């Protein structure tokens, strides 16, 4: 008897995806629950697991686009028998031996690799035995393989003398091709990157985007955060960050200027009376915007927990489509990458997006004195069809007031 491995529905608007990686190869024995493949769509990456044990027979290669509901493999339950208990016991590593002995000479067999690490190795065609592991017992971490992939792409071209020697041996018809070897790397855009590109272009073509700026003195919020950090961490088992302050201040500003919390549908202007705030998260696969639901009703601890969980899921490729849908406003923090100032692009159909930036000490005049202050530039991009300039400026002023006077926010720690 065979089990069909079908592409599951991963969202109402998603009709296809790409088989990014086969974690189990054709003819390989799989157990129920084993990760078979990673399906990459224009919004999320999803891991598909085996629904039973048996021999895997794949039907499509890596990189092929497949439709929702399509059969991409079968699992033959009557095929190769599952390894016997005795065999498994024999294959178990001896706890008294070193990690390298237990997993092979290099200590990096596929059993020792996490799904995320294995996926990157497969996609980038890396040799794990040639990568130095910095994890416990010499295991490869995600950072190790991402670094190896980057070094592979940025590998220097051969020295001029070597190039000349090679050219002398090449047929004339191959010299043009060889001359570009190592100078560029060509790869197909992932579905997620294609979707991001389409969304950004669509936003600029369909909305009247304008950006207004302000700056905020971070002195008070930094002092409050430092004062409360130990007690907050001890109580909630996670750190108090700046994003929760900005979400609270954003909600307060949206309530004061409700036009920012709206969207246009055809000839209608839809006013949102709830506050689902999208928080942009950068991953090696692209930018995703998971949504913190009912942010106005959540405590600082709940906000920080949501943000941390979304960031982890996004980086591991485990975020769900429903996590990305339905936001009313977006916050993007380019400051974590060192950005001093930028003009964020709207996340359709939303009418506003806030850009946070790097905190930098700057000279500020306070009561006639020039003093150093930790300052951050803020940028609000908005759809001028739905929002007037006065409303945009008022929103930033309200947000600035909340950050510079954090005790005016609904503090609960």
What are the catalytic residues?
A: 384, 388
Per-chain mean pLDDT for the chain: 83
* Same-domain check for residues 206 and 81: no
Q: What is the pLDDT of residue 10?
A: 73
% residues pLDDT > 70 (the chain): 82
Q: What is the pLDDT of residue 389?
A: 96
Residue 34 pLDDT greater than 90, yes or no: yes
Final residue belonging to a domain, choices 92, 116, 142? 92
Tens of pLDDT, residues 183-192: 888 887 777 6
Question: Does 162 fall in a domain?
Answer: no
Tens of pLDDT, residues 234-293: 999 999 999 999 999 999 999 999 999 999 999 999 999 999 999 998 877 677 899 999
Question: Does 243 fall in a domain?
Answer: yes
In terms of residue numbers, what domain contains 45?
1-92
Closest CA to 264 of 328, 213, 199: 328
Q: What is the pLDDT of residue 352?
A: 97
Final residue belonging to a domain, choices 92, 117, 144? 92
For the chain, how many structural domains are there in total? Answer: 2
Tens of pLDDT, residues 45-88: 788 999 999 999 999 998 888 998 999 999 998 754 544 443 44
Question: Does 165 fall in a domain?
Answer: no
Tell me how far apart the alpha carbons of residues 366 and 284 are, in angstroms, rounded to a whole number.
Answer: 42
Final residue belonging to a domain, choices 35, 66, 92? 92
273 CA to centre of own chain: 28
CATH of the domain at 273: 3.30.559.10
Tell me how far apart the alpha carbons of residues 217 and 137 are, in angstroms, rounded to a whole number.
Answer: 45
Tally Cβ neighbours within 10 Å of residue 402: 23
Tens of pLDDT, residues 321-340: 788 889 999 999 999 999 99
Tens of pLDDT, residues 208-251: 999 999 999 999 999 999 999 999 999 999 999 999 999 999 99
Residue 413 pLDDT greater than 70, yes or no: yes
* Same-domain check for residues 202 and 330: yes
* Same-domain check for residues 62 and 196: no
Question: Does 138 fall in a domain?
Answer: no
Q: What is the pLDDT of residue 152?
A: 67
Q: What is the pTM of this model?
A: 0.63
- 185 exposed, middle or buried (CB, 10 Å; 0-12, 13-18, 19+)? exposed
Q: What is the pLDDT of residue 135?
A: 75
CATH of the domain at 33: 2.40.50.100
For residues 32 and 101, the model is more confident at 32
Residue 113 pLDDT greater than 70, yes or no: yes
For residues 227 and 146, the model is more confident at 227
State in Å, rounded, how far the first CA of the chain is from the last one: 58
Question: Does 178 fall in a domain?
Answer: no
Using alpha carbons only, what angle is made at residue 292 by residues 287 and 296, rounded to the nearest 5 degrees?
140
DSSP string over 14-56: --EEEEEEESS-TT-EE-TT-EEEEEE-SS-EEEEE-SS-EEE
DSSP state of 253: H
* Same-domain check for residues 350 and 229: yes
């Amino acid at each position: 008897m065979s089990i069909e491995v079908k592409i599951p529905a991963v969202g109402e608007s998603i009709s296809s995806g790409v088989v990014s990686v086969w974690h189990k190869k054709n003819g390989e024995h799989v157990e129920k629950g084993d990760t078979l493949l990673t399906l990459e769509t224009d919004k999320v990456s999803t891991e598909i697991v085996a629904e039973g044990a048996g021999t895997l027979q794949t039907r499509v290669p890596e990189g092929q686009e497949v439709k929702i509901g399509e059969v991409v493999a079968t699992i033959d339950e009557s095929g190769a028998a599952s390894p016997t208990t005795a065999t498994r016991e024999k294959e178990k590593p001896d706890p008294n031996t070193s990690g390298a002995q237990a997993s092979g000479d290099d200590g990096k067999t596929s059993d020792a690799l996490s799904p995320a690490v294995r996926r990157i190795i497969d996609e980038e065609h890396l040799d794990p035995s040639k990568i130095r592991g910095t994890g416990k017992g010499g295991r490869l971490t995600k950072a190790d393989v991402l670094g190896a992939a980057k070094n592979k792409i940025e590998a220097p071209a051969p020295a001029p003398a070597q190039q000349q020697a090679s050219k002398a041996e090449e047929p004339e018809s191959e010299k043009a091709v060889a001359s570009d070897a190592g100078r560029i790397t060509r790869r197909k855009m992932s579905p997620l990157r294609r979707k991001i590109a389409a969304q950004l272009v669509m936003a600029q073509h369909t909305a009247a985007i304008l950006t207004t700026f302000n700056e905020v003195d971070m002195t008070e919020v930094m002092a409050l955060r430092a004062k409360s950090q130990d007690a907050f961490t001890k109580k909630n088992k996670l750190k108090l960050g700046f994003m929760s302050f900005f979400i609270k201040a954003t909600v307060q500003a949206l309530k004061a200027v409700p036009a920012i919390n709206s969207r246009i549908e055809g000839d209608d202007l839809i006013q949102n009376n709830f506050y689902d705030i999208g928080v942009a998260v950068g991953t090696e696969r692209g930018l995703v915007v998971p949504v913190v639901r009912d942010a106005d009703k959540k405590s600082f601890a709940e906000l920080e927990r949501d943000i941390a969980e979304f960031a982890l899921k996004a980086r591991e490729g485990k975020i769900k489509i429903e996590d990305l849908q339905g936001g009313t406003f977006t916050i993007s923090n380019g400051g974590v990458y060192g950005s001093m100032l930028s003009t964020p692009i709207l996340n359709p159909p939303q009418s506003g997006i806030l850009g946070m930036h790097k905190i930098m000490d700057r000279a500020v005049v306070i009561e006639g004195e020039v003093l150093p202050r930790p300052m951050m530039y803020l940028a609000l991009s908005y759809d001028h069809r739905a929002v007037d300039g006065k409303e945009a400026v008022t929103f930033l002023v309200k947000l600035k007031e909340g950050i510079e006077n954090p005790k005016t926010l609904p503090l609960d720690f």
